[in-house]
């Protein structure tokens, strides 16, 4: 059984990163197809899978299309209960769903002000009060998860890597890419995300993709990405 995943430009599409990690991190067989998210061909590329209209789109082995990262995650967890997408402990699983749902529907100030860009880091970015409130809330959620369900020998929110870590991977990329303030524990978690082999695989592939025009420009100086690719 092999899934097909349609994604957008790896450098910028945080939703696509979440969709791909939901498969790759749990060893679920898949093929990836790149749609023209910024090249202007997205509608044409997704037309065979209507009514899907945003990336990522998961194509099940029977041809059924599933859009939206939360729907993709829950579909995969339902189809592969043995893969460990959600924590095994019921309490941890409930909290992991909470964190995923809050990320999926919230933190709009952070999203709007700091689009994901894996190419380089922006220097001298000044976060607004609204962005700082989002960061404070994220730090609180990460700390609560680790305090209640984390493991001393693991950097992940619920001990083993789970969908909660999948959904916060692009958040970590935003923190790193804009030099955003977090607690020491929060920064440690960001580093764990950026040094995860799969995250580095994604970024390495992203750097090979030509993107024209380049979206999400800032009138700020650029600096090297904080964690070099391998």
- CA atoms within 13 Å, Cβ hemisphere of 206: 26
pLDDT given at position 131: 98
Domain formed by 90-203, architecture: Up-down Bundle (1.20)
What residues are paired with 223 via a beta bridge? Answer: 121
Classify the phi-psi angles of 213: left when phi > 0, otherwise alpha if psi is within -120 to 50, otherwise beta: beta
Where along the chain do the CATH 3.40.30.10 domains lie? Answer: 3-83
State the CB neighbour count (10 A cutoff) for residue 158: 26
Q: Which pLDDT band holds residue 229 (cuts at 50, 70, 90)?
A: very low
Does the N-terminal peptide bond of residue 187 adopt cis geometry, omega within 30 degrees of 0? no
224: which residues sit within 8 A by CB, 6+ positions away? Answer: 120, 121
Q: Where are the beta strands (DSSP E) in 37-146?
A: 57-59, 65-67, 121-122
pLDDT given at position 228: 61
Please tell me whether residue 218 adopts helix, strand or coil conformation.
coil
Alpha-carbon span 109 to 133, nearest angstrom: 9
Residue 59 — φ and ψ, nearest 5°?
-105, 115
Q: Which pLDDT band holds residue 211 (cuts at 50, 70, 90)?
A: confident
The superfamily CATH assigns to domain 3-83 is: Glutaredoxin (3.40.30.10)
Tokens linked to 188: 């440690």
Alpha-carbon span 224 to 230, nearest angstrom: 14
Where along the chain do the CATH 1.20.1050.10 domains lie? Answer: 90-203
Do the Cβ atoms of 32 and 3 come closer than 8 Å?
Answer: no
Q: What is the pLDDT of residues 51-74, one digit of tens each?
A: 999 999 999 999 999 999 999 999
Q: What is the pLDDT of residues 39-54, one digit of tens each?
A: 889 999 999 999 999 9
Tokens linked to 219: 């009138």
Q: Using alpha carbons, list the distances in angstroms from residue 12 to 40, 67, 206, 215.
A: 15, 18, 9, 8
Q: What is the pLDDT of residues 125-173, one digit of tens each?
A: 999 999 999 999 999 999 999 999 999 999 999 999 999 999 999 999 9
Instruction: Look at the block and give the residue holding tokens 């922006």.
Output: 122
Alpha-carbon span 93 to 114, nearest angstrom: 29
What residues are paired with 57 via a beta bridge? Answer: 6, 67
């Amino acid at each position: 059984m092999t899934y097909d995943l349609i994604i957008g430009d790896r450098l910028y599409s945080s939703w696509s990163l979440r969709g791909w990690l939901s498969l790759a991190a749990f060893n679920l067989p898949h093929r990836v197809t790149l749609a023209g998210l910024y090249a202007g061909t997205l509608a044409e590329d997704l037309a065979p899978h209507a009514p899907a209209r945003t990336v990522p789109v998961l194509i099940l082995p029977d041809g059924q299309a599933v859009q939206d990262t939360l729907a993709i995650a829950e579909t995969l967890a339902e189809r592969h209960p043995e893969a460990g997408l959600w924590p095994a402990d019921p309490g941890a699983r409930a909290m992991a769903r909470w964190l995923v749902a809050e990320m999926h529907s919230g933190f709009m100030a952070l999203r709007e002000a700091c689009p994901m860009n894996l190419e380089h880091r922006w220097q001298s970015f000044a976060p607004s009060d609204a962005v700082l409130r989002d960061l404070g809330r994220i730090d609180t959620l990460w700390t609560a998860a680790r305090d209640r369900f984390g493991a001393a020998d693991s950097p992940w929110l619920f001990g083993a890597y789970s969908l909660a870590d999948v959904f916060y991977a692009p958040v970590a990329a935003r923190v790193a890419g804009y030099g955003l303030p977090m607690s020491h524990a929060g920064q440690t978690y960001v580093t764990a995300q950026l040094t995860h082999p799969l995250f580095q695989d994604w970024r390495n592939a992203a750097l090979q993709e030509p993107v024209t025009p380049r979206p999400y420009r800032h009138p700020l100086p650029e600096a090297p990405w904080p964690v070099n690719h391998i």
